C-alpha cells in the first residue's frame, strides 16, 4: 500500500520511521516532510492546507491511506474534504473530521463534552467580552493560581496561569483585546489542578479503541520546569507512576466515557486522541484533549510499539480495532529536544549543522532542519532535532539520548539537561 503522511515536524519524522518499518508498505510519501523523513519515503513539497494539491497527489500516487500528523489540517476539515469528494471518499484518513477535531479546536467545546459525559476535569466557566463582569466575578470566586485559556487554537500559547487576581484580570483584558486574535474571543477560566502531568494516547475507529504507550512531556524551556512554555523540550515513556491501578482509573473514568461520549454525540471519530492528564493524588483529571499524537511524545511512544504500526492504522481505517492488542516493548525511551537559542521566542535560522548525527542506542528525528543552497544541512526552526535514547532502563535511555544530543553541533544549540530526572528517584524501571 502507498501511504501519505501529512506534516513536517519531529512527530512526523518518528511516524515516517515507524511506518517505513511495516512489511505491508509499498511507498511512503510525506507532505511536506523534512530532511529526516526523506530517509523513510519521498517528500512532496506541498502545503497540506491546500486540499486540492493534496487531492492531486493522492490520486497521482495511488495513495491507499492518509495519515494526518498535525491538528491544523484536521481542524480545517481535511477529512471532511475527502469524505465528500467523489474521487477521494473511499480513501481512509487517519484523523477526525471537523466535528471531532473540535475536541482540540475549541476548549469550550471540549470542557462541555467532558461535563456532559461525566469525565473528571477542572471546574470551569467560559466567557465572551460581553460577559466580562461575570468573568471577573468568577475569578473572584476562585483561589489562586488562576488558569485562563483561549478557546481556539493558539499554537500551544493560549494557556496563561496567573498567580494573582490582578494579573488574572489583566490577562482577561489581554484576551478580549485580541492578544490571541479570534482564538481568544471566548475565554475559558478554570480551577487550578495541582499534580503531575502525563499523556495517554488512544487510537480509535469510532467504535472500539486501543491504548498506546503513555508518555510524559517536559513543556517549559528551562531546567527545573522554569521559563516559558514550549511545544515540548523532551519526553519519556513509560511513566513510572502509571501503574496498573492508575491506568485502570484512566480507562474506566476517562477513555471509555470519551469514546462512548463521541458515539452518543454522533461524532464519527477515526484517529488518535491524545489525552493530557493531571494525576491529582492518584486520580486522573483531563487537562486537555488533542486530536493527534504529541510532539515530542510520539518520538518516545512509537519506538515502544512492537506491533506493525501501519497494520494498526489500516485496522482502524476498516473499523476492525475491536479485540486487537498493541504489543509494547519493555524498553524505556527518552527524547531530548535540541532547540535554537532564543526559542520559544525569536531565534536565528540557517545555522550549519555538523558533528555526528548518530550514536549507539539512539535514534535521531529531525524537526526544524532543511537543506541549504549547496545541499548542506542547516537549521530552519525553533525545535531542530529530537535525540531519542532507547534502553532497558530510564537511566540508560537518557544517557543514550544525551550522548547523541552532545554529538550534534550547531551554533546556538540549546537543550534541557534535566529530562527525566524527576522520575529517576520514584522510578521502578
How many CB atoms are closer than 10 A to CB 265? 13
- The residue whose Cβ lies closest to ligand GLY is 232
Tell me: does residue 12 bind ligand GLY (CB under 6 A): no
**Which residues in the 151-190 window bind ligand GLY by CB under 6 A?**
156
Among 28-36, 191-199, 348-356, 405-413, the segment contacting ligand AMP (CB under 6 A): 191-199
Tell me: does residue 422 bind ligand AMP (CB under 6 A): no
Total site size for ligand GLY, rule CB under 6 A: 8
Widest CA span of the chain, in angstroms?
61
User: Based on CB atoms, which residue is closest to ligand AMP, 276 or 296?
Assistant: 276
Alpha-carbon distances of 405 from 82, 351, 360, 395, rounded to whole Å: 40, 16, 12, 15
Tell me: does residue 193 bind ligand AMP (CB under 6 A): yes
Three-state DSSP class for residue 113:
helix
**Which residues in the 256-295 window bind ligand GLY by CB under 6 A?**
290, 294-295
**Which residues in the 23-42 window bind ligand GLY by CB under 6 A?**
none
What is the distance in angstroms between the CA of the first residue and the CA of the last residue of the chain? 38
User: Based on CB atoms, which residue is closest to ligand AMP, 190 or 205?
Assistant: 190
Pairing mode, if any, of strands 332-340 and 354-355? unpaired
Query: What is the rounded distance in angstroms from the CA atom of residue 341 to the CA atom of residue 378?
Result: 14
At residue 255's C-alpha, the angle toward residues 126 and 104, to 5°, is: 40
CB of 269 to ligand GLY, least distance (A): 18
Q: Per-residue x/- mask for ligand GLY, residues 344 to 373, rule CB under 6 A?
A: ------------------------------
Alpha-carbon distances of 418 from 85, 209, 405, rounded to whole Å: 49, 34, 13
Tell me: does residue 288 bind ligand AMP (CB under 6 A): yes
Query: What is the rounded distance in angstroms from the CA atom of residue 110 to the CA atom of residue 112?
Result: 5
Q: Pick from ligand AMP, ligand GLY, none: which does 66 bind, CB < 5 to 8 A by kind?
A: none
Tell me: does residue 214 bind ligand GLY (CB under 6 A): no
Which residue is associated with the grid cell 475565554?
187
Q: Are 298 and 5 in contact (CB under 8 A)?
A: no
Q: Which of 231, 234, 344, 420 binds ligand GLY (CB under 6 A)?
A: 231
Tell me: does residue 353 bind ligand AMP (CB under 6 A): no
Q: Which of 53, 179, 219, 319 binds ligand AMP (CB under 6 A)?
A: 219
Tell me: does residue 232 bind ligand GLY (CB under 6 A): yes
Which residue is associated with the grid cell 512532496?
44
Alpha-carbon distances of 123 from 107, 219, 247, 407, rounded to whole Å: 13, 23, 23, 46
Tell me: does residue 382 bind ligand GLY (CB under 6 A): no
Q: Which of 158, 217, 398, 408 binds ligand GLY (CB under 6 A)?
A: 217
Query: What is the rounded distance in angstroms from the CA atom of residue 391 to the CA atom of residue 109?
Result: 40
Q: Pick from ligand GLY, ligand AMP, none: which does 303 bind, CB < 5 to 8 A by kind?
A: none
Q: Which of 174, 197, 268, 395 binds ligand AMP (CB under 6 A)?
A: 197
Tell me: does residue 8 bind ligand GLY (CB under 6 A): no
Query: What is the rounded distance in angstroms from the CA atom of residue 239 to the CA atom of residue 332?
Result: 9
Q: Is the dihedral of CA 282, 283, 287, 292 positive or negative?
A: positive
Total site size for ligand AMP, rule CB under 6 A: 12
Tell me which residues touch ligand GLY (CB under 6 A). 156, 217, 231-232, 290, 294-295, 297
Query: Where along the sequence are the contacts to ligand AMP (CB under 6 A)?
Result: 122, 147, 149, 159, 190, 192-193, 197, 219, 276, 287-288
Amino acid at each position: 500500500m502507498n501511504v501519505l503522511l501529512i506534516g513536517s515536524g519531529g512527530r512526523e519524522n518518528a511516524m515516517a520511521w515507524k511506518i517505513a518499518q511495516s512489511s505491508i508498505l509499498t511507498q511512503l510519501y510525506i507532505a511536506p516532510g523534512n530532511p529526516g523523513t526523506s530517509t523513510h519515503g519521498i517528500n512532496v513539497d506541498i502545503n497540506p492546507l491546500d486540499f486540492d494539491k493534496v487531492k492531486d497527489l493522492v490520486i497521482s500516487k495511488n495513495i491507499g491511506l492518509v495519515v494526518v500528523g498535525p491538528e491544523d489540517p484536521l481542524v480545517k476539515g481535511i477529512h471532511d474534504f475527502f469524505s465528500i469528494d467523489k474521487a477521494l471518499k473511499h480513501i481512509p484518513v487517519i484523523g477526525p473530521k471537523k466535528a471531532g477535531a473540535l475536541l482540540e479546536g475549541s476548549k469550550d467545546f471540549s470542557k462541555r463534552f467532558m461535563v456532559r459525559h461525566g469525565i473528571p476535569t477542572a471546574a470551569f466557566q467560559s466567557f465572551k467580552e460581553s460577559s466580562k463582569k461575570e468573568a471577573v466575578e468568577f475569578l473572584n470566586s476562585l483561589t489562586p493560581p488562576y488558569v485562563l485559556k483561549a478557546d481556539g487554537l493558539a499554537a500551544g500559547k493560549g494557556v496563561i496561569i496567573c498567580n494573582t487576581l490582578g494579573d488574572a484580570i489583566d490577562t482577561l483584558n489581554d484576551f478580549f483585546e485580541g492578544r490571541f486574535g479570534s482564538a481568544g474571543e471566548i475565554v475559558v477560566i478554570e480551577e487550578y489542578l495541582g499534580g503531575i502531568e502525563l499523556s495517554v494516547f488512544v487510537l480509535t475507529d469510532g467504535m472500539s479503541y486501543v491504548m498506546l504507550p503513555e508518555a510524559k512531556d517536559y513543556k517549559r524551556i528551562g531546567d527545573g520546569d522554569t521559563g516559558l512554555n514550549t511545544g515540548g523540550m523532551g519526553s519519556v515513556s513509560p511513566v513510572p507512576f502509571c501503574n496498573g491501578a492508575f491506568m485502570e482509573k484512566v480507562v474506566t473514568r476517562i477513555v471509555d466515557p470519551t469514546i462512548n461520549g463521541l458515539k452518543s454525540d454522533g461524532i464519527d471519530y477515526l484517529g488518535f486522541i491524545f489525552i493530557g492528564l493531571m494525576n491529582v493524588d492518584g486520580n486522573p483529571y483531563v487537562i486537555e484533549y488533542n486530536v493527534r499524537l504529541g510532539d515530542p511524545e510520539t518520538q518516545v511512544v512509537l519506538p515502544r510499539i512492537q506491533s506493525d504500526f501501519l497494520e494498526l492504522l489500516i485496522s482502524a481505517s476498516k473499523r476492525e480495532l475491536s479485540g486487537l492488542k498493541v504489543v509494547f516493548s519493555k524498553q524505556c525511551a527518552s527524547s531530548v529536544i535540541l532547540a535554537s537559542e532564543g526559542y520559544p521566542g525569536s531565534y536565528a535560522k540557517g545555522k550549519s549543522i555538523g558533528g555526528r548525527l548518530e550514536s549507539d542506542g539512539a535514534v535521531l528525528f529531525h524537526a526544524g532542519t532543511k537543506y541549504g543552497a549547496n545541499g548542506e544541512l542547516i537549521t530552519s526552526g525553533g525545535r531542530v532535532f529530537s535525540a531519542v535514547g532507547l534502553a532497558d532502563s530510564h537511566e540508560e535511555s537518557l544517557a543514550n539520548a544525551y550522548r547523541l544530543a552532545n554529538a550534534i553541533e550547531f551554533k546556538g544549540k540549546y537543550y534541557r539537561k534535566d529530562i527525566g530526572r524527576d522520575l529517576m528517584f520514584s522510578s521502578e524501571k
